[in-house]
Structure 1
Amino acid sequence: MAQALLRYNDERRWLRRAPERIGHLFPRLIDQAEYHRRLRTLAPQMFAAAMWLARAIPTRHEQLRLVDGTPVPCGASRTQM
């Protein structure tokens, strides 16, 4: 949540900056390797939660739609010559 609120859309940058931004709030912050290990471990539960939300929210007949707000960089690709 703090990552999104502080507008860090890159996990590497966030994990590098987290100790100085929120380190005073937590006795220990995890490093990048531990972050990815936990993320891989939780992937099935995160997928199940997303699927439950998709099934539980009837978006076909509603005016309100649930969308993912993940920022995606655009125009970052380079063409090779």
Structure 2
Amino acid sequence: MNTRPGRPTRLTDAELICLALAQVLLNRPSETAWLRYARKHLTGMFPYLPQQSGWNKRPRAAGPLIARLIRSLAETTPTNSEHLRLIDPTPVECARSRPTVKRSDLAGEAGYGYCASHSRYFWGMRLYLVTTAEGMPIMWWLANPT
């Protein structure tokens, strides 16, 4: 990435990637808030931090480099073992009205649950999907959401 003519950058690509990763892992989506946090807590590790306009440009310009790093990590991280599995539950709504709930054949299996992503309650079941880190489904099951 540092193949452009002109002054050498004061923030190396490695430092840039570390800071961008820390911004994501520390859940700091605002660039202004992130730079304020980094200046307060990370100046010992990163003596030079760009201004907001510079920070805005550098990670975007480093997109291909970051994508290459992510691809390399994904290829070299062993996930075919039993050590890493991801579980993702999703609601399966079976009924909405009270009369439908009362006459349903699923009355013994289904129940009421809350779906935070939709900010609402539902009556039905939860579908749990177990996958590898690559997204390959391993198993699934339906369960009462309570």
TM-score, length-scaled by structure 2: 0.34
In terms of fraction of residues, the more strand-rich structure is: 2
The 5 Å alignment of 1:26-37 reads 27-37=47-57
Which residue of structure 2 lines up, in the alignment, with residue 55 of structure 1?
A: 75
Higher helix share: 1
Higher relative contact order structure (alpha carbons within 8 Å, sequence separation ≥ 6) = 1
| Partner amino acid, structure 1, of 2:69 | A
> What is the aligned-residue identity percentage?
26
Which amino acid letter does the alignment assign opposite residue 36 of structure 2?
R
Alignment-mate amino acid for residue 10 of structure 1 = R
SS at match of 1:62: coil
Q: 1:38 to 1:76 in 2, by over 3 A?
A: farther
Paired positions, count: 67
- Judged with a 3 Å threshold, the aligned counterparts in structure 2 of structure 1 residues 66 and 45 are, in CA distance, closer, same or farther, namely farther
RMSD: 3.4
Higher radius of gyration, 1 or 2: 2
Name the aligned partner's letter for residue 28 of structure 1: Y
Partner of 2:61: 41
Quick one: structure 1 residues 57 and 22, their matched pair in 2 at CA, closer, same or farther if it must change by over 3 Å? Answer: closer
For structure 1, the 5+ residue unaligned runs are 68-74
Which ranges in structure 2 are unaligned for 5 or more consecutive residues? 1-17, 87-115, 119-146
* Structure 1 Cα separation of the partners of residues 117 and 53 of structure 2: 26
Question: In 1, Cα distance between the equivalents of 2:50 and 2:28?
Answer: 16
User: Partners of 1:40 and 1:52 in 2: how far apart?
Assistant: 19
CA distance in 2, matches of 1:46, 1:65: 23
Measured after TM superposition, the shift of residue 62 of structure 1 is 0.7
